[in-house]
C-alpha cells in the first residue's frame, strides 16, 4: 500500500531528537496507523538507520500481556547488545492494551535520552485523555484522521483525473504562484466522489471490492461497535451501551442537519443531560464533530440552542444503513459531510455555520480578527 500523504508530516516528528519527547500517534480505528508505522521503519532504514537499531512491539500480542514497557526495552537492548546511549527507535503499537501506559512512557522518556519512543493506539478518546493528563512536556500528539478525497484518489490510482495549473495571484501579502485544480472528466470525478462518500474513509475499505460489498459488517464491527461497546465504556464508565448506540445511530442518519438537545432527546429517547455527556464522548472518539451557529455579523450566540453535528467521515453512515446513490434524497447532506471532513485536516479548522430567515451559509471560518471569512 502507498504511504498516506500524512506520512510527510509524521516522519519529521519521528526523526526529531533535539526535543526529548515521545510521539503519540492516535486516531480512529482502521485509518492505517500500523501501516504508517511500517512505512516509517522502511524510511528509517533507507535513511541509514541500522535495522537492529529499530524495534517494533505490538502490545496486543498476548505474549506481552502484563509486561511493563521498561522490561520490553531492557529485553530489546539486551538481545541486540545495545547500550542505552545508542540512538535507537522503539515503537509500541496498540499501546491502549497496557494499563497506565502513559505513566510508564513518561518514565521511559525521562530515563532513556537517546531512544526515540513512538506509540500508537486505536482507543483515540482514551489516548488523548491520558496523554494530556500525564504527558505534558513529554509527549507530542499526532492525529491521523480518515482519508481525504485527494488521498482516496491517490490510493486508488485515480489522481490522473485531476488537472493542476499554476497562476500568479496578488493580495495584501504580495505576489505569489497559486495552484488551481480542475478535472479532465467531471462525470468520472463525480463517480469517484460518490465512491469516496460510501467507501472512502478507510484505506482497506477503499481498496477492497470484497469489503465494499458488505461495508456494514466491516466498518460497524471493526470501527463503530468496538468504539461504542469497548473503548468508550471502559474509559468513561458508560453502563447503557444500547442508549449510546441509539444516540449515535440517530446522529449518523442526520449528519449535517441542524439539531437541538430537545429534538435529539425527543427522537432518540435519551435524556438531555445524558446527551451532553455522550456527545462529548463521541467527539473525543473522533466519530463526530459539532459546529455552532453564528449570526450575520460573525458573533456567537450566548445560548447555543442549535448546532450541527457531522460524522467525521461520510462512509460511517453508509456502513450503518446502506451506500447511497447520486439521486438519493440525503445525498446533499453526505456531500456536505464529505466536504466538512476535508476541513478537519486543517490546522485551523474551527468552523461555524450561519442561518437566518432568508438564507444560510453552511460553513463559516473566522479570521484572527473574528471576522467571517
In the Cβ-directed half-sphere of 248, how many Cα atoms lie within 13 Å?
30
Burial pattern 56-71, b for ≥16 Cβ within 10 A else e, equals bbbbeeeebeeebbee
pLDDT tens readout for residues 199-241? 988 888 888 888 888 877 777 777 788 788 877 787 777 888 8
| Max CA pair span of the chain | 73
Distance CA 137, CA 332 (A): 43
Distance CA 318, CA 314 (A): 7
Q: What is the pLDDT, as a whole number, of residue 259?
A: 93
- Report domain extents, the chain: 7-144, 186-365
Residue 34 has pLDDT above 80, yes or no: yes
Average pLDDT, the chain: 87
pLDDT tens readout for residues 101-150? 888 999 999 999 999 999 998 765 566 666 666 656 788 889 898 999 99
CB count, 10 Å around CB of 113?
A: 10
Cell numbers 510521539: residue: 23
The DSSP code sequence of 31-83 is: SSHHHHHHHHHHHHHHTT--GGGEEEEETTSGGGTT--HHHHHHHHHHHTT--
Residue 337 has pLDDT above 70, yes or no: yes
pLDDT tens readout for residues 250-292? 999 999 999 999 999 998 888 888 998 899 888 888 889 999 9
Per CATH, domain 7-144 is 3.40.50.300: yes
Q: What is the pLDDT, as a whole number, of residue 371?
A: 64
- Comparing C-alpha atoms, which of 332, 348, 286, 279 is closest to residue 311? 286
CB neighbour list of residue 190: distance below 8 Å, 6 or more residues apart: 326
Amino acid at each position: 500500500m502507498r504511504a498516506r500523504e500524512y506520512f510527510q508530516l509524521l516522519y519529521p516528528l519521528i526523526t526529531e531528537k533535539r526535543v526529548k519527547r515521545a510521539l503519540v500517534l492516535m486516531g480512529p480505528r482502521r485509518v492505517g496507523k500500523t501501516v504508517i508505522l511500517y512505512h516509517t521503519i522502511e524510511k528509517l532504514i533507507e535513511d541509514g538507520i541500522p535495522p537492529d537499531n529499530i524495534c517494533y512491539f505490538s502490545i496486543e500480542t498476548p505474549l506481552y500481556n502484563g509486561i511493563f514497557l521498561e522490561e520490553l526495552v531492557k529485553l530489546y537492548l539486551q538481545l541486540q547488545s545495545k547500550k542505552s546511549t545508542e540512538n535507537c527507535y522503539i515503537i509500541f503499537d496498540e499501546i491502549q492494551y497496557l494499563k497506565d501506559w502513559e505513566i510508564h512512557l513518561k518514565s521511559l522518556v525521562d530515563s532513556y535520552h537517546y531512544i526515540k519512543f513512538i506509540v500508537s493506539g486505536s482507543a483515540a478518546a482514551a489516548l488523548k485523555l491520558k496523554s494530556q493528563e500525564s504527558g505534558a512536556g513529554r509527549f507530542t500528539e499526532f492525529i491521523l484522521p480518515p482519508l481525504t478525497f485527494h488521498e482516496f484518489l491517490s490510493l486508488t490510482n485515480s489522481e490522473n483525473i485531476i488537472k493542476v495549473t499554476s497562476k500568479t495571484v496578488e493580495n495584501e501579502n504580495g505576489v505569489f504562484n497559486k495552484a488551481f485544480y480542475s478535472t479532465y472528466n467531471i462525470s468520472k470525478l463525480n463517480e469517484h466522489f460518490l465512491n469516496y462518500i460510501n467507501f472512502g474513509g478507510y484505506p482497506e475499505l477503499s481498496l477492497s471490492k470484497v469489503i465494499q460489498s458488505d461495508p456494514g459488517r466491516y466498518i460497524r464491527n471493526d470501527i463503530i461497535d468496538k468504539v461504542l461497546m469497548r473503548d468508550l465504556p471502559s474509559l468513561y464508565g458508560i453502563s447503557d451501551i444500547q442508549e449510546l448506540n441509539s444516540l449515535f445511530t440517530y446522529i449518523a442518519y442526520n449528519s449535517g442537519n441542524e439539531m437541538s438537545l430537545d429534538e435529539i432527546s425527543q427522537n432518540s429517547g435519551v435524556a438531555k443531560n445524558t446527551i451532553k455527556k455522550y456527545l462529548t464522548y463521541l467527539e473525543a472518539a473522533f466519530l463526530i464533530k459539532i459546529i455552532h451557529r453564528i449570526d450575520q455579523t460573525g458573533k456567537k450566540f450566548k445560548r447555543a440552542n442549535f448546532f450541527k453535528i457531522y460524522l467525521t467521515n461520510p462512509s460511517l453512515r453508509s456502513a450503518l444503513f446502506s451506500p447511497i446513490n447520486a439521486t438519493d434524497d440525503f445525498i446533499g447532506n453526505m456531500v456536505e459531510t464529505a466536504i466538512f471532513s476535508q476541513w478537519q485536516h486543517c490546522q485551523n479548522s474551527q468552523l461555524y455555520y450561519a442561518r437566518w430567515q432568508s438564507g444560510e451559509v453552511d460553513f463559516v471560518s473566522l479570521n484572527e480578527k473574528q471576522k467571517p471569512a
